[in-house]
Structure 1
Amino acid sequence: MGVTFFWLSVCIPPEHASEVAASFAAAVAASPVSPAARQVLDRWREAPGSLSPEAVPDPARPGFWTFREGTEAFEALFRPEALSAFGQGFIRTGTEANGWGIQLDEDHGTLMITDRVPASAALYFGLGSAQAARLAGHFGALFVAPSDVGGLLPALEAVLERPSPEMLARARRWLRRGNNTDVHPEELFSFLPHALRKAEARKEGVVVLTARG
């Protein structure tokens, strides 16, 4: 059984927006990109084939399998502990919940559950390095103030709407690192625009986070 990851979006009422923004910024500051991950990203931009989610034979141990250098460093970008803990506060109740009384439910947010791999990692790999670099936020984590939702939505739609068959195929490859046959790649590409549209309709802000189960 693999680790479960939750990719969640939650609408943030205007009266709580500044406090949530500050907490989000602090969690991002506590989630820096490591030198190893930066090297992986730079290499991926120069040589897209350098990054792969599939296991390969381990040259050091005949009969065993391993992953290419950089695969795990790349994936770790999408599940830093500080942002994961922040996200868990919108899922849990009682003393472990967030201090604003904001709960994730059908009216206020959206939840995607994946096995072993963060959904946002599969989305980034599906987009490819050039398109992924155009996404706002911090590797699938995002806070948007109520006044900024309408302005950011077209930019997100320009990157994520109508993914090519090649993009969908790449996203599916990364999803296969876990037991994610029920997750459709198209859902990955629609997740962020859907979150912002819901927030815009409610005249609220939105926070998007990956939380480890």
Structure 2
Amino acid sequence: MTLSHLPAPSDVPYEPWEGEAEALAAAAAVGRRAAAWLRSLPAPPDTILGESLAAAVESVTAGLDPRDENRPGPDWTFIEGQGGADSEAMTVLAAVPCAAPAATWLTPDQQVRMVAVASLVVGAVRVLVQDPGTAIRSELAVIWALLDHVIAWPPTLWRGATVGRTCSPTREVRSATQVPSGKGQLGGRLSATLRQ
């Protein structure tokens, strides 16, 4: 009797997920928009919050790879996926929440949005390595919608004012119920959160 061995996992041809190409193209596009927004901010030349951060966002979103997921290794070991992300770029993104509070050349609004951009990109990598199929079908789209929302949000809504109250004799900040709700469940959840 002849025994044939099953091919090792690395020898199995990769079969793309449905909608994978579109999802990865959307990731690269939103990454370019986020990087452009980051480059529009003032930044000293010796900080990671300048070009280094913009380049990291652009690199990670353009290089996402569903094949680089969490997976079992030989001899019952566990291989932690990287989602195609460069480790140096991920290090820059992970440092942003600690570095942003010291960025006194930025407004609080810009600091918060910068942290949100970095955190959302890191989150996209994490959901992709944990469950590529679900990430491609739904989760990444929600993350990119949030990222677009962060970089497009009018900064005057938050600066020096309490939502729904007058911040100057001649101008009143829009109330939370007037914030555009967006499309689908994401916009509904966001509006509901703001109204609380």
The alignment's TM-score, normalised by the length of structure 1, stands at: 0.30
Flag the structure with higher helix content. Answer: 2
The alignment's TM-score, normalised by the length of structure 2, stands at: 0.32
Greater gyration radius? 2
